[in-house]
A and B are shown apart, each in its own frame.
Chain A
Amino acid sequence: MATKKNIPVVEWEYAPSLEGTSHIQLKKQYDLFIDGKWVKPSSGKYFQTINPANEEVLSEVAYGNEKDVDLAVKAARKAYTEVWSVMPAAERAKYIYRIARLMQERARELAVIETLDAGKTIRESRDIDVPLACNHFFYYAGWADKLEYAFPNRKVESIGVAGQIIPWNFPLLMAAWKIAPALAAGNTVVLKPAETTPLTALKLAEIIEASGLPAGVVNIVTGFGDTGAAIVNHTDVDKIAFTGSTNVGKMIQKAVAGTGKKLTLELGGKSANIIFDDAPIDQAVEGIINGIFFNQGHVCCAGSRLFVQENVADKVIAKLKDRLNSLYLGNPLDKNTDIGAINSKEQLETINKYIKIGKQEGAEMYQPSCSIPKKGFYCPPTLFTNVAQSNVIAQEEIFGPVLTIQTFRTVDEVIQKANNTPFGLAAGVWTDKGSRIFNLTTKLRAGVIWANTYNKFDPTSPFGGYKESGFGREGGLHGLSSYVKLV
């Protein structure tokens, strides 16, 4: 047996390792990108976008209104009928490839700006968001001249002008998810980024401008909810694609009712992550961590409801708590930061509201001891044990780094509990037993099932939900059908 000697423990801390910001180019003020030109908003109004990590103003961005949206839709319509829909598909593909390459060339700048504007860690922007965004363009570019293979026995046509509204959690990646398939299928685009994270979409506009893409094929109109509503309600828009909250999604579905507009919705979730006793336990713990704390929990498919088989619950929870203490929370620009800033003050308030509710409901809270920066919006990673299915924190989407933990005894019980939600976006299953995985992946009512992994994304892999998590798929072959008309 090893004899334990009294050896003084020397702490080894990581010195700050900040990603440089000197190479990025941010203008003081951004206009709207309409018809290939930078256009002042007709209202003359601009709004500030700040860095949620320190509350400093990054830039001012145009506040587009109905008039601006109308201009953008007109430009998109013109580009659609005169250029984009009549261009040989192979040429269309080459434009999209070109955008992908230009994005790759400016990947570092995009990553830094994403981190500044969204508060997400530079590790994630650099290693996940930006490469995936580039790859998405790369993937769909190749589809442009192969559409007839995707839909056997049907004639494929483009739809027309697509209005696209994207959220603040993956600003550039969501822009790519929307724009790439739309362009590949021959549509033109009016896109509205989220008001707290407009910068990378505007940088993408610069890239699109530099790529020589015909004017009006992609238009970026920044603004708030009313700007988005103007896009949804515009009579000359043929297709609406929305990613965001279920509440707003429902408003859009209602507004589109009876108009004949095509619609895809990628909405909220409250996804179950299920750990069986025979799981690769340490990888499962990592999967739980990645499932809920990736991007500060601002992930629609976050594994926010953890179900642990009762006979390993103590072990898993102990390991989880232990692991929380090795996560670094702080400046998102630091390459060693694991948990960055909450996207906005409003979102932080929402998260704190739910944490309060959780405590009031009698759930037991655990947060690691970590120092929170004085400025900026931060929330420590949070676990709730002793949670019941009927607790609000186990039912509503929190969209933050808050995990609820419930235990279960049998397979049937956990399937029922996992499906017992209006949402159906994703689920995780951890077990070493293949036949059980196939049983669960069949019975869980969700659009993405991660077995022995979690929060993986790929341009070739369709993503989207069941039930109130929305409809339509993004990514892969199935993502194409959201942007084509089949006759």
Chain B
Amino acid sequence: MDLQITLLLGQDGITNGAIYALLSLALVLVFTVTRVIFIPQGEFVAYGALTLASFQAGKTPGTLWLLAGAGIVVALIDLRIALAGGARQRIGRILGWNLGYPAAIFALIFFGKPEGWPLAAQVLLSLALVVPLGPMVYRLAFQPAAEASVLVLLIISVAVHLALVGLGLLFFGAEGSRTPSFSDAALQLGSITVSGQTLWVLGSSLLLIAALYQFFGRTIYGKALRATAINRTGARLMGISTVMAGKLSFLLAAAIGAFSGILIAPITTIYYDTGFLIGLKGFVAAIIGGLASYPVAAAGAVLVGLLEAYSSFWASAFKEVIVFTLIIPVLLWRSLTTHHVEEEE
């Protein structure tokens, strides 16, 4: 193993680590705000990438039907509640977001012919299609059980994951897809070449992390999310809607997931079930951060990425074993050093 190999592996590890970092941030966000361990996080990675690939292949992605279907169900439930509660002023909003928005996307895809669009427009359309699924999933699966225990929420989470993977197979088939890279430019750094897509991944990850930092620190919605994360009851007493906080955190998680998928689709082949393993590695990183600390989770993600890259060189057959074994010493150390107080109820 010479210097060049070390550098190449390091580059590979950091690129993957950046994606894991984004996912671990989303997992920490969703957990702190809603106490949901968001296993379906990875499905948004696959949905984002494969939706984009479908546009490029000139196909209508199946996620469109999912968006339309979920929109109709959400609209029906919310309308019933709104009518029963006499809140007629909400009807317009409910119809607009859950029926009008999918209809607009529908029209855009059928009449706009996204096949010939520039890549950036296709990416935006894919995000516009996949990201709203996040809040809809929250509305349908988690909101009715928002006050349940962490374990119940975890079980719901597993169920949603299995349902979404199954739908993914139905929508996109068993074979994978790749998308063209954002730019063909390459950077020559000494003896190694850094591809344009790698720079895109690193740049976008850093930018997103900075944007999230600003969002939590400076905007009223970000502060509301933080307040809910610190104390749900207290936040509610201060007039923060926990339903809004839940939907917002799922929206962000879906956006981060789908965008991560689009970022790595040119580097690797994405399958309908790829997301789970990527999400799981993000989860290992989130655990390193104790499901609470953003910076530690991000650092953990880079560690996971590097560990993965070097172990694939030294002992490729045991790569996953090494990565997932990492969780055991971390959990031991966590349980020995922290005096955790159950906050439940």
Specify whether A and B are partners.
no
**Which residues from chain A sit less than 8 Å from chain B, CB to CB?**
none
**Which residues from chain B sit less than 8 Å from chain A, CB to CB?**
none
